[in-house]
Amino acid sequence: MTKPTIKARPFGAANYLQSEADMAAYLESVLEENDPALLAAALGDIARARGMSDLARATGLSRESLYKSLSGDRVPSTETLLKVIHALGFKLTVQPA
């Protein structure tokens, strides 16, 4: 007797980020973790939800560079993070902890 196979896809947060409020809440919760690689990955999720090609045009960076920088496997430069945050239409603010 053969075992039934289960087909599964990897979880992709980008599939669940439907609104600006969803994206902002996701980014806020990630920022609370103080993990730059996690921040990069979350920005990548948001970029995929909106369209990586549009982000590439807005930042002046190549799609390939953005996919690598926002994979979460490495920490991108501050310059790249700030370009992406600005191009996605977000504004970072500082408040006392």
pLDDT tens for each residue of 20-73:
999 999 999 999 999 999 999 999 999 999 999 999 999 999 999 999 999 989
Does residue 1 surpass a pLDDT of 70? no
Q: What is the domain partition of the chain in residue ranges? A: 19-87
**Can you give the pTM of this predicted structure?**
0.84
Reported as half-sphere exposure (CB side, CA atoms, 13 A), residue 72 has a value of: 11
Would you say the C-alpha torsion 44, 60, 85, 83 has a positive or negative sign? positive
Does residue 11 surpass a pLDDT of 90? no
